[in-house]
Amino acid sequence: MVRKIIRVAIVLLVLLGLPLIAWRAFLNLSINRELAKIRTAGFPANGEELNFWYAAVPDHQNAALVLTQAFALRQDYPDNRSNLINDFKFPKRNERLSAEQTQLLQGYLRLNEAQIRRADEALTLPAARYPLDFTLLMNTPLPHLTWLNDLAELHEFAALIALESGDFTAVGTNIMTILALVRTLDNEPSAISQLVRFKGIGRAFMTFERRANAGPLTAAEIANLTIAFDQTRVTSSSVIALTGDRALMIPYFRMTLAEYNRLHPPKPKQEPKANSPLPCHGPAILRLIGYYDLDYGTFLVGMRKAIAQLGKAPPENLRTRGYFARIGEESAKRQRSLSGLFFSNYVNSGVDENVALANQRLVLATLAIERFRNDNGRRPESLDELVPKYLAEVPEDPFTGMELEYRGKEKGYVIYSLGPDRENNEGLEKVDKKQSDDGRSYDITFTVER
């Protein structure tokens, strides 16, 4: 009887164990092939490799190191005026600052003169790499992003004050400085870092729109700002971001609990979340049957396809929006899906990049229009009039692949992109979106009312 039971157990072990072993071997082989594709393409697959992929910069050429010193010089008001700075509401395009706002910003700029001077010294250096250690994976500190954003805002304040006094040269200088700060993040392989870049480009865009409405631009302003905006890279930013984030996420799929706790030290009496998607927190049976490795493979294949799609020219790169949404929803249907959690963070990757690209193209087209106005004493009837003397070609809307839209106004003009919804709202601005048919639609506009 005992022998019979042993024989039955052996048969069951063979019938159940061998398929499981074969299944796990297949999953492991598929994962290793995907990892090999990443490394063969020259991309990183963990934090240590990402440290090397994010190219080092000699200290004597590194603007980021000097900017870090500048960040430490930041000063805040010692009273409730610091709250007024944090909650500052920028005036609308043609509105003036109040006397109280002017005094508030002037005082804040005086407080931070040393920081501004040190940052200006930093931006004379030719390259930038902030001192980051990506072996900390998703726990990598990125404090410089907040500081950089604050410094860009400081220059936006300075531009507002310069507009009030009619010092248009200073306005242009501050716009160019904002863009120079943005460019220190050009190669930083992090989605959050690239979003800060895009926000900085948006600051420069809004500041220039205020300047363009304040009065005619000089030839020198047009030339300098054209160079500054043209040098600010936008395309491929999302590819860099996802390549870096993928490297930071890959280790979590096979991370031990001890490794996780080392990177993310638990707080006292803190217990793992009941439905944590992390394999190291999950049931042993799911690890045994290869559930998490299946999810791992889904992540690797999904990110590879998404990064390739993001590398395509606009508007083709926008296909990643639907792709990430779809695979994110599919992954979310499965419990404990780590890939679904990661994918949900990147649905708007292509959209965010294309908004920044639209901003850049609208500014460059506006600068060409203003140059035409200076030469001809009138605005062009269409953007075609700018070709080839003022523009090599009419810029494309990154959301449609068609030419940017242009409308003359009774006073001035509006040039615009249709934006993420790809609906032509006739140049309707975001602040006026309630006037649209659905109360939500608007275009990405650059409006000059003079």
- Look at residue 2 in the predicted model and tell me its pLDDT: 52
Mean pLDDT of all residues in the chain?
92
Residues above pLDDT 70, as percent of the chain: 93
Over the stretch 402-434, which tens digit does the pLDDT of each residue have?
999 999 998 999 999 999 999 999 999 998 888
Tell whether the model's pLDDT for residue 161 goes beyond 90.
yes
User: β-pairing, 413-417 with 405-408?
Assistant: antiparallel
Tell whether the model's pLDDT for residue 149 goes beyond 50.
yes
Cα–Cα distance, 237 to 228 (Å, whole number): 18
3-class DSSP state for residue 413? strand
Mean pLDDT confidence for 19-32: 89
Over the stretch 256-267, which tens digit does the pLDDT of each residue have?
999 999 998 887
Over the stretch 209-247, which tens digit does the pLDDT of each residue have?
999 999 999 999 999 999 999 999 998 999 999 999 999
Cα–Cα distance, 361 to 363 (Å, whole number): 5
- Look at residue 435 in the predicted model and tell me its pLDDT: 85
Mean pLDDT confidence for 175-189: 98
Mean pLDDT confidence for 126-132: 97
Cα–Cα distance, 249 to 344 (Å, whole number): 13
Band (pLDDT 50/70/90 cuts) for residue 3 is: low
Direct distance between the N- and C-terminal alpha carbons of the chain, in angstroms, rounded to an integer: 100
Band (pLDDT 50/70/90 cuts) for residue 41 is: very high
- Look at residue 12 in the predicted model and tell me its pLDDT: 47
Which residue would you say has higher pLDDT here, 148 or 14?
Answer: 148
Band (pLDDT 50/70/90 cuts) for residue 96 is: very high
Q: Which of 121, 213, 214, 206 is nearest to 167 (CA)?
A: 214
- Would the pTM of this model clear 0.85, i.e. be above it? yes
